[in-house]
Structure 1
Amino acid sequence: MKLKKIHHIAIICSDYELSKWFYVDVLGFTVAREVFREARNSYKLDLEVGGQYQIELFSFPDPALRPSRPEAAGLRHLAFEVDDIDEAVFHLNELNVSTESIRVDEFTGKRFTFFQDPDGLPLELYEV
């Protein structure tokens, strides 16, 4: 098997309109397609990230909760590359999105920080 790249990342949210606002208006992702799937009483929102990757944002009635702290088993966090972490943190803070203190990766020397989406999904900004 020869995997070429990550095709998409799927996220299930508990409040579709709030999460849509967060990923589109706060993080600045572009809506590629939005559909309501009547049989599932569910929205599916396809988002472009930098014209390269895709996030699928799903809504379902009463989704089950699961641990999402970075130390829980499973997916640890989703990281986004930025050119200027100070600018990105300022933008998030201006929109009342709390961020952790900026840290420096001890192995790469790169700066990074964590924040959360409306459902507490841990997200990271990583400066390149």
Structure 2
Amino acid sequence: MFKRIDHVEIVPTDAERTINFYVDIIGFKIQSRNEINMPPMKEVIYLKLGDTVIEIMSIDNPEPKSEAPWKVGYRALALEVEDMSKAVAYMESKKIPITWGPADLGEVLRAEIQDPDGLIIELRQWKKQSTQSLT
């Protein structure tokens, strides 16, 4: 019945700044931009990386995110990387701080960065060459 996660929605403080981060730093491509006439929603932008899609929702005056580190809700977006050392060096060259890790967790290497609004992005390198499943 259910097939897969279709996309993840993000409501940023500044849609253009967030789009630039995901496109210029992470490597997503803009798939589409659609103006929406449903205040406070102004625009919906779809970004794609491989078969992963993020929907950026441009909203007038969104409420700030909670600062509680362990709140109920989605915690992080996880991106698989080919080589953790290269990914960390790349982020540092772009002045994007590594906020946690990298750490060796057995089957994986894991680190974290944050997007412009402080949303957590996990960087994960599976030690085996093939993509792993968490099932």
Q: What TM-score do you get using the length of structure 2 for normalisation?
A: 0.84
1:68–1:77 CA distance, 2 compared to 1 (3 A): farther
More displaced 10-residue stretch of structure 1: 91-100 or 36-45 = 36-45
1:17–1:39 CA distance, 2 compared to 1 (3 A): same
Q: In structure 2, what residue type is equivalent to 1:62? A: N
Alpha-carbon separation, structure 1, partners of 2:95 and 2:12: 19
Q: Could you tell me how far 1:36 is from its partner in structure 2?
A: 2.2
The answer on whether the counterparts of 1:69 and 1:76 sit within 8 Å (CA) in structure 2 is no
Q: In structure 2, what residue type is equivalent to 1:109? A: E
The answer on whether the counterparts of 1:68 and 1:76 sit within 8 Å (CA) in structure 2 is no
Partner of 2:101: 101
Instruction: Tell me the number of residue pairs that the alignment of Structure 1 and Structure 2 aligns.
Output: 124
Structure 1 runs not aligned, ≥5 long: none
Q: What TM-score do you get using the length of structure 1 for normalisation?
A: 0.88
More displaced 10-residue stretch of structure 1: 32-41 or 85-94 = 32-41
More displaced 10-residue stretch of structure 1: 24-33 or 66-75 = 66-75
**CA offsets, 1:74-93, max 9 Å, x none?**
11111111111111111111
- The 5 A counterparts of 1:1-128 are 2-40=1-39, 42-50=42-50, 52-67=51-66, 70-99=69-98, 100-105=100-105, 108-128=106-126
The answer on whether the counterparts of 2:13 and 2:64 sit within 8 Å (CA) in structure 1 is no
Alpha-carbon separation, structure 1, partners of 2:48 and 2:54: 7
Alpha-carbon separation, structure 2, partners of 1:16 and 1:120: 14
**CA offsets, 1:1-50, max 9 Å, x none?**
x3211110000111111111100000000111012224435221101121
Structure 2 runs not aligned, ≥5 long: 127-135
